Amino acid sequence: MMDVSEIFVPENTIKTLTMPEDIVHGGSYTATVHVAKGASLMIVETLQETAPCAVRLTVRLEGEGAFVVDTSRYQGRENAVLDIERVIVHVAPFTTSRVDARGILHDASRVLWRGRVIVEQGAKKAQAFLRHDAILTGAHALADAAPFLEIFTDDAVCKHSASVRRVEPAQLFYMKSRGVAEEDARNMLLEGFLKI
């Protein structure tokens, strides 16, 4: 079942959103968060999925100086299909957004990750950073990532980065040379990758 919600962060307040607990329990949700002037929004998302799920979150930075930090960590197992979407809209000047999403795909799980940062013409001096990193461990896993930037003003600094990586053989070798078994070393490195 899909749950749709609107969340408002009033002027000069700080709100922490822990997901999925704060929105709805279970697989899928859609939410729009409106962040007012001087307000800060912290999003902490942790997903451990074994079944299909869809998460669509839109954050609108509507007031001057609005700020969002979005930290997302996900793991897919078995036949999970994670459909994750983030839309960050910079409407007002001096707004800042940081999206940091990381995930590991085990077994035959798949992720469809879509990120979109839109900086509207009025959002002068906006700063945006969008990143998504994934590691594939499952032989039949798939990562399909597309972090978009759409910039309609010149007076903004926007960056994004995306990667799909493996467990670095050199790091693995280092751990093994210190006497850690390969399986343990791999798990430690994966755990480290997800550390916030």
Partner 1 sequence: MISYEDRTKYDAADEVQERYRAGFGVSEELVREISLQKNEPAWMLEKRLRAFALFLKTPLPQWGPDLSGLDLDKITYFVRPNANESTSWEEVPENIKRTFDRLGIPEAERTTLGGVGAQYDSDVVYHNIKEEWAQQGVVFENMDTAVRNYPDLVQKHFMTSCVPINDHKFAMLHAAVWSGGTFIYVPPGVKVAFPLQAYFRMNAERGGQFEHTLIIADKGSEVSYIEGCSAPRYMTSALHAGCVELFVGEDAKIRYSSIENWSLNTYNLNTKRALVEKNGTIEWVNGNMGSGTTMLYPSSILVGEGAHSESLGIAVAGPGQNQDTGAKAIHVAPRTSSVIRAKSISRGGGIASYRGQVRVGRRADETISHVTCDALILDSASQSHTYPYIKTENTNSDISHEARTGRIGDDEIFYAMSRGLTEERAIQMIVGGFVEEISKKLPLEYAVEFNRLIDLQMEGAVG
- Residues at the contact surface with partner 1, assessed by CB under 8 A: 121, 134, 136-166
Of 69 and 158, the one with the shorter C-beta distance to partner 1 is 158
Of 15 and 186, the one with the shorter C-beta distance to partner 1 is 186
Radius of gyration of the CA atoms of the chain, in A: 18
Of 6 and 154, the one with the shorter C-beta distance to partner 1 is 154
Of 38 and 138, the one with the shorter C-beta distance to partner 1 is 138
Q: How far is the CB of 181 from partner 1 (least distance, A)?
A: 20
Picking from 128, 18, 134, the residue whose alpha carbon sits closest to that of residue 82 is 134
Q: How far is the CB of 150 from partner 1 (least distance, A)?
A: 5
Q: How far is the CB of 163 from partner 1 (least distance, A)?
A: 4
Q: Which two tokens stand for residue 173?
A: 């070798």
**Any idea how long the chain is?**
196
**Amino acid (1-letter code) at residue 8:** F
Q: How far is the CB of 108 from partner 1 (least distance, A)?
A: 11
Alpha carbon 177 to chain centroid distance? 34
Close Cβ partners of 64 (under 8 Å, ≥ 6 residues apart): 37, 38, 92, 93, 94, 95
Q: How far is the CB of 69 from partner 1 (least distance, A)?
A: 20
Of 11 and 150, the one with the shorter C-beta distance to partner 1 is 150
